[in-house]
């Protein structure tokens, strides 16, 4: 279908006849209009919004920000491109996606909104992928299936995706939780700016603690010591992350944490100094220990040998290796 042939020329539309509450076709996540206000004041409205005439007034297909900017400028009428009222909803969806994707690269939420709208008309994943490809959207069926879910997640998770504090993979993991739980994790991740590995570590620990201690995830996130650490204004971001990880580890693995503290005391009694380090097996699984030595000369290595003889005789070492 030819895009231009489906418009009916109309010089202007009364602002009062436009339904500003209907966001059915909204693609953009940007709500700022300051730049548009300056542009319209300077050179006028260069790209007229796209509308379709419905029984209750005009529905916006594209141009939500432009219309808001014009309203802010006190305009009562606006030039618009009017789509034939007999146009099918799928055609309007394609108009909305095309109008946005031609102006810029769509962010992940905008891609999600676009794919979600398209998916309502293409039940077959191959046909959906083909339609998406034509409109400049991701065309891998597996990726499409993941991305289209994002726009239906909580506002906090979507904001995290927009701010790049939550990846697509983590957003999909949070989707598996209750809505308030996913939102609480999103807020925590935004505050701490965590790497994906640390996000997964914290998510895993909290889910496991909730099961073991028979308490809710939301309780752990909002009513435990974790919340106190997060809100502590005396701690910087790095300190908060370290304290939270330690707190969760202690709750999830109390026996390992206790053993680590006991081992720390015993190692201290060995008086290894700064140039020696005794490393136990990870999580005490196994019996193999490693001893790291640092030296700059043969003389220092000889000193290490003498020191090792004393360490071997130290009763604390026997207690460590038992």
What is the mean pLDDT of the segment spanning 192-217? Answer: 95
160 exposed, middle or buried (CB, 10 Å; 0-12, 13-18, 19+)?
A: buried
Structure tokens at 45: 């409205």
Helix (H, G, I), strand (E, B) or coil at 8: strand
User: What are the DSSP E strand ranges found in 40-101?
Assistant: 50-54, 57-62, 77-78, 81-83
Structure tokens at 217: 């995830």
Instruction: Read off φ and ψ for residue 290, nearest 5 degrees.
Output: -120, 145
Residue 65: is its pLDDT beyond 80? yes
What is the mean pLDDT of the segment spanning 184-209? Answer: 95
Residue 281 and residue 289 in contact, taking contact as beta carbons nearer than 8 Å: yes
- Pairing state of beta strands 57-62 and 18-19? parallel
What is the mean pLDDT of the segment spanning 224-252? Answer: 93
Spatial separation of the C-alpha atoms in residues 233 and 203, rounded to whole Å: 23
What is the mean pLDDT of the segment spanning 53-67? Answer: 92
Give the number of other CB atoms < 10 A from CB of residue 319.
Answer: 13
pLDDT at site 8: 53
What is the mean pLDDT of the segment spanning 109-121? Answer: 96
239-269 residues labelled b (16+ CB within 10 A) or e (exposed)? ebbebbeebbeebbbeeeeeeeeeeeebbee
Structure tokens at 41: 């004041």
Binned at pLDDT 50, 70 and 90, residue 11 comes out as low
The CB-side HSE value for 200 (13 A sphere, CA atoms) comes to 9
pLDDT at site 102: 82
Give the number of other CB atoms < 10 A from CB of residue 39.
Answer: 15
Helix (H, G, I), strand (E, B) or coil at 10: coil
Binned at pLDDT 50, 70 and 90, residue 260 comes out as confident
What is the mean pLDDT of the segment spanning 90-117? Answer: 93
Spatial separation of the C-alpha atoms in residues 29 and 32, rounded to whole Å: 9
Residue 154: is its pLDDT beyond 50? yes
pLDDT at site 9: 55
Residue 51 and residue 84 in contact, taking contact as beta carbons nearer than 8 Å: no
What is the mean pLDDT of the segment spanning 72-79? Answer: 94
84 against 175, higher pLDDT: 175
pLDDT at site 280: 84
pLDDT at site 267: 83
Chain centroid to CA 112: how far? 14
What is the mean pLDDT of the segment spanning 237-242? Answer: 95
Residue 16: is its pLDDT beyond 80? yes
CA distances from 122 to 60, 141, 172, 181, 316 (A): 23, 12, 22, 32, 70
Secondary structure letter of residue 176 according to DSSP? T
């Amino acid at each position: 279908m030819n895009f231009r042939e489906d418009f009916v020329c109309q010089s202007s539309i009364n602002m009062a006849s436009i339904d500003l509450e209907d966001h059915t076709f909204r693609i953009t996540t940007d709500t700022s209009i300051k730049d548009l206000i300056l542009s319209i004041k300077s050179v006028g409205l260069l790209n007229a919004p796209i509308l379709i005439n419905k029984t209750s007034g005009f529905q916006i297909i594209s141009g939500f920000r432009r219309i808001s900017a014009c309203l802010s400028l006190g305009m009562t009428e606006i030039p618009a491109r009017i789509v034939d009222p007999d146009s099918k909803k799928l055609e309007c969806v394609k108009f909305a996606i095309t109008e946005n994707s031609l102006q810029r690269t769509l962010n992940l939420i905008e891609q999600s909104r676009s794919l979600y709208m398209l998916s309502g008309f293409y039940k077959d994943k191959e046909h959906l992928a083909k339609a998406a490809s034509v409109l400049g959207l991701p065309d891998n069926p597996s990726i499409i299936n993941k991305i289209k879910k994002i726009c239906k997640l909580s506002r906090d998770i979507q904001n995290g995706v927009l701010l790049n504090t939550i990846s697509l993979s983590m957003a999909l993991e949070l989707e598996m939780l209750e809505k308030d739980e996913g939102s609480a994790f999103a807020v925590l991740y935004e505050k701490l700016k965590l790497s994906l590995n640390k996000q997964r570590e914290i998510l895993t620990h909290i889910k496991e603690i909730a099961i073991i201690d028979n308490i809710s995830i939301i309780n752990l996130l909002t009513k435990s010591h974790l919340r106190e650490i997060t809100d502590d204004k005396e701690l910087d971001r790095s300190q908060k992350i370290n304290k939270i990880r330690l707190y969760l580890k202690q709750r999830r693995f109390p026996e390992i944490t206790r053993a680590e503290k006991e081992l720390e005391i015993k190692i201290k009694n060995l008086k290894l100094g700064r140039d020696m380090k005794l490393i136990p097996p990870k999580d005490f699984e196994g019996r193999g220990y490693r001893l790291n030595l640092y030296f700059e000369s043969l003389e220092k290595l000889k000193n290490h040998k003498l020191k090792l003889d004393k360490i071997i005789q130290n009763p604390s070492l026997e207690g460590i290796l038992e």
